[in-house]
């Protein structure tokens, strides 16, 4: 309980005195807050916890919110009105992309072509790679056989270490191509730059995934 008043007579939640004791608590708060407004010397190395219901801002003597830190530094009572409730603290969140900010969509397509014909395609989306710490392990393979002339085995592997293609070819005169397509769509960025807010849930790419993609593209 964050804002409990330490004296058992005034024990309540969120710094609000129980109604029956409210008047006495206000009077006590006035006495303590008057001292806080007047300032004082540092009396200890610990900023005191809220031990009185300071209602001075309502009484008009001084603004409790403005004097709360002064009271803290001088080792005196803290105005409970200035202490932020746990419910409010829980709402104060910070991260790279906020809900209501902009949305990042990601797509990675890896395609291997033999003699101009696409034989194997592996597609990764953001859903495939944010469910864990990196890319969900994925393995695709196909064998392209040309009878007695030989054949071509194609293996696409995706995992935390990156995305790779392994090609085993045993026939001559074959043209093999790998095509990687990385698509990143940032929805709402224009609105964010303008200072506005786009709708939609923000999604982010874990650092491990970013590094996996960078390693893959660097190959």
Whose tokens are 């202490």? That residue is 83
- Decide: is 202 part of the binding site for another protein (CB under 8 A): yes
The tokens for 128 are 């495939």
**How would you label 116-145 residue by residue, b for 16+ Cβ within 10 Å and e otherwise?**
eeebbebebebebbbeeebbeeeebeeebe
Q: How far apart are CA 120 and CA 158, in angstroms?
A: 14
Among 19, 41, 88, 147, binds another protein (CB under 8 A): 88
- The least CB distance from residue 65 to another protein, in Å, is 5
Task: State which residue, 9 or 69, has the beta carbon closest to another protein.
Answer: 69
Find the largest Cα–Cα distance for the chain.
100
Which residues have a Cβ under 8 Å from the Cβ of 151 and sit 6 or more positions away? 143, 144, 145, 169, 170, 171
Among 1, 20, 60, 93, binds another protein (CB under 8 A): 93
Contact segment (CB under 8 A) with another protein among 27-35, 87-95, 152-160, 161-169 equals: 87-95
Q: Which of residues 99-118 bind another protein (CB under 8 A)?
A: 99-102
User: Within a 10 A sphere around the Cβ of 81, how many other Cβ atoms?
Assistant: 20
* 31 to 70: interface string for another protein, x by CB under 8 A: -----------x-xxxxxx---------------xxxxxx
Residues found near another protein in the complex (CB under 8 A): 2, 42, 44-49, 65-70, 72-73, 82-84, 86, 88-102, 192-198, 201-202, 204-207
């Amino acid at each position: 309980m964050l804002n409990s008043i330490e004296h058992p007579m005034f024990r309540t939640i969120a710094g609000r005195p129980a109604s029956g004791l409210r008047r006495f608590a206000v009077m006590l708060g006035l006495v303590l807050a008057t001292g806080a407004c007047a300032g004082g010397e540092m009396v200890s190395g610990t900023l005191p916890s809220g031990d009185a219901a300071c209602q001075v801002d309502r009484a008009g003597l001084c603004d409790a919110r403005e004097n709360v830190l002064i009271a803290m530094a001088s080792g005196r009572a803290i105005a409970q009105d200035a202490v932020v409730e746990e419910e409010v603290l829980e709402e104060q969140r910070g991260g790279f992309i906020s809900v209501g900010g902009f949305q990042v969509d990601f797509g990675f397509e890896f395609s291997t072509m033999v003699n101009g014909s696409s034989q194997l395609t592996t597609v990764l989306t953001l859903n495939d790679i944010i469910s864990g710490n990196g890319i969900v392990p994925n393995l695709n393979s196909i064998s392209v056989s040309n009878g007695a002339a030989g054949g071509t085995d194609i293996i696409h592997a995706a995992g935390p270490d990156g995305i790779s293609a392994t090609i085993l070819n045993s026939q001559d005169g074959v043209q093999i191509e790998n095509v990687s397509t990385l698509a990143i769509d940032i929805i709402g960025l224009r609105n964010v730059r303008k200072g506005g807010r786009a709708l939609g849930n923000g999604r982010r790419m874990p650092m491990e995934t970013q590094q996996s993609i960078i390693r893959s593209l660097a190959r």
